[in-house]
Amino acid sequence: MNLAELESRLQKLEDAEAIRQLKSRYFFACDRKDPQTVRSCFIDGPMLIDYGAVGRFDNADALVALYTEVGCHDYMVEMHHGANAQIEVHDGERASGRWSLHYFLINTKTKSCTQLGGQYEDEYRKIGAQWKISRTQFLATSTLVLDINEALAKILFAGRAPGA
């Protein structure tokens, strides 16, 4: 293996790690109710964001506006756990990835808990020295909603996510 091949392989590893850090930053910002950081994870301009029941957006600003209105409340205690990253760096400016998500929400206002599982299909672009999400789609595969209003938890819904 020559030096150029070694440098290319090392760059792909560094790019894949930068994308892992990007997605981790996105999940952490969602949990911390930090819309500015959430927004910084996406490219500027037109793009596809398809989050199923949450909505379909043609730019990151529209997603962040809804997230701020609906999700940025103290009574929404969220945990996004991304796993099983499958990242493919296509070249120095484009990559794609698949992620599993385990999402857990405690809503202290409605006294409910939601557990959601599914997969992300992402595309990324390198803008300057930073990787950004340039397209993303989430497919929910399982949902469990519990009523925690009473002494015993009551299942409101359990099963495959609607439309999945």
Question: What is the per-residue pLDDT for 65?
Answer: 98
Question: What is the per-residue pLDDT for 118?
Answer: 97
**Mean of the pLDDT values across residues 1-30?**
95
Question: What is the per-residue pLDDT for 82?
Answer: 97
User: What are the start-end ranges of the H helices in the chain?
Assistant: 3-31, 35-40, 60-71
Question: pTM for the complete prediction?
Answer: 0.90
Q: Is residue 161's pLDDT more than 70?
A: no
147-to-105, 107, 140, 161 alpha-carbon distances in Å: 12, 10, 20, 18
Percent of the residues in the chain that have a pLDDT greater than 90, as a whole number:
86
Strand partners for 122 = 97, 136
- At residue 157 the predicted structure's pLDDT band, cuts being 50, 70 and 90, is confident
**Mean of the pLDDT values across residues 18-36?**
98
**Mean of the pLDDT values across residues 30-52?**
97
Cβ neighbours of residue 50 closer than 8 Å, sequence gap 6 or more: 56, 57, 136, 137, 138
Backbone angles phi, psi at 89, to 5 degrees: -90, 115
Please give the sequence-ordered ranges of beta strands (E in DSSP) within 7-162, or none if there are none.
48-50, 56-57, 76-89, 94-107, 112-127, 130-147, 154-159
- For the chain, the domains span 3-159
Q: Is residue 164's pLDDT more than 90?
A: no
Instruction: Dump pLDDT digits (tens) for 69-122.
Output: 999 999 999 999 999 999 999 999 999 999 999 999 999 999 999 999 999 999
Tokens standing for residue 65: 């506006």
Question: What is the per-residue pLDDT for 25?
Answer: 98
CATH code matching the domain that covers 3-159, chosen among 3.10.450.50, 3.40.109.10, 3.40.50.300, 3.30.420.40: 3.10.450.50
